[in-house]
Amino acid sequence: MTSTFDLQSFIQTVVYEESHLEEIRNEPHEQTTPYDFVDPDLDLLDHVPSPPGRSQRERVSKRQLAFISPRLGVLNNIPFVIPFEQRVTIFRTFVQSDRHRLGLDLHPFGKPKHRAVIRRDRISEDGFLHLNALGPRLKDPIEIKFIDQYGLEEAGIDGGGVFKEFLTSLTKDIFDTNKGLWLVNQNQELYPNPHTFSQEALSLEWYGFLGRVLGKALYEGILIDVEFADFFLNKWLGKQSYLDDLASLDPELYQGLLFLKNYKGDVEADLSLNFTITSNEFDQSTTIELIPNGSKISVTARNRINYIYLISNYKLNIQFEAQCAAFFRGLNDIVELKWLRMFNQVEIKALIGGLDGQDLDFGDLERCTVYGGWNESHETIRIFWRVVKRFDNATKRKLLKFVTSCSRPPLLGFKELRPAFAIRSSGVDESRLPSASTCVNLLKLPEYKSETQLEEKLVYAINSGAGFDLS
């Protein structure tokens, strides 16, 4: 289907339509009248009187203007007829358009930055302290100054690389399950902690902050190494939760409900279930009634579908309601949720953390690499590319993570990596290990003379992390 029209023209037009609708949404609100609530898709012009003081045709046509967006309609309703890579391009263009609207695409020194002083050993706490109050202004350029373990401000100017290093370190820390706000399923995929302390005011502030932090990563095109459970990603897409979504949260409960659904015996006598669910927090159990007097109502063959629905709804929606609402408010502060709804769950995962499960194209990486202290014709560089192109995919991913902090490549190829992948000479001492500065995607490589030596040193460094630094 996509071969029948010009995709580049489609992208340009859909971005124009979105920008035009944004202008309409941002116009000063007119006084509300009953006519403002007429469904714009219904032709009711012949059945309602004109509002006082203005033309009825003018009023309705202005409202309908927001719906006369055919290409945006394709993107909103049948997005998968557009190739994934093109939808990623559309997403990035939506962001660029938003940056232009806010004046963020000017020279960085033309707009004041927010400045945050961050202690490396308190990165989450200081990040929350300095950045949470910004709300939607987290879109603005942020200047980060790190304080080292000795209380000294680290040298250097944040040209974007330091912020990237801060953001990747922050997300690694704040999505740590030991912090208490997130749990993982059997696949080690994250979802909000349903416990009651996660619904307290301060915890909800943190969820909002986490949403904005993740939104900032998406907004800036910074990949982060974090994976969310499928049922939670469904909520990003505005999809209703179903029984099958329970498999990514609690597979044992999911199998149990399937067993109940298909049970051929006497449900009431054999299974002895009622309309309650048990919540366990800190070794204490609480019985929650799914309906009034649920503890006194038995599950039978006739009402078991209702029971299955209520259990699923509680597990997938009710217990996370406040946490998810706070998280998505924060996310929407930075990236409009409707921009994400042109993707499915797998694609959202790729948008957050890059493509997984495919062979890395180090030929593409080589074409996009920049050099310092030497050029692509230097013998060590020639040796380097011969060695790393022989790596298996797992080792390639370790190398990519060692240098960039993320094991997955950008969605549109390594040309999209910001800053660009770089290799710099670290001198002629061949006894040294390679090292990396993840904040600027820089590999610092001694001038090894043989493939065997380079491979041995590089593999040791990427497997042990022994060569990591932040300079």
Active site residues: 439
Indicate the length of the chain as a whole number. Answer: 471
- Structure tokens, 302: 């006739």
- Structure tokens, 353: 């953390």
9, burial (CB in 10 Å: exposed 0-12, middle 13-18, buried 19+): exposed
Identify which of 34, 67, 65, 61 has the alpha carbon closest to the alpha carbon of residue 45.
61
Identify which of 324, 186, 311, 215 has the alpha carbon closest to the alpha carbon of residue 258.
311
Amino acid at 244: D
Identify which of 418, 449, 422, 452 has the alpha carbon closest to the alpha carbon of residue 435.
422
- Structure tokens, 399: 């190398």
Angle between helices 161-174 and 201-220 (to 10 degrees): 140
Residue 59: phi, psi to the nearest 5? -65, -50
CA 379 to chain centre: 40
Identify which of 288, 285, 231 has the alpha carbon closest to the alpha carbon of residue 254.
231
What gap in Å lies between CA 298 and CA 428, rounded to an integer? 78
What gap in Å lies between CA 420 and CA 300, rounded to an integer? 62
Are 191 and 182 spatial neighbours (Cβ–Cβ below 8 Å)? yes
8, burial (CB in 10 Å: exposed 0-12, middle 13-18, buried 19+): exposed
Please, what is the Cα angle at 195 between 191 and 198, to 5 degrees? 75
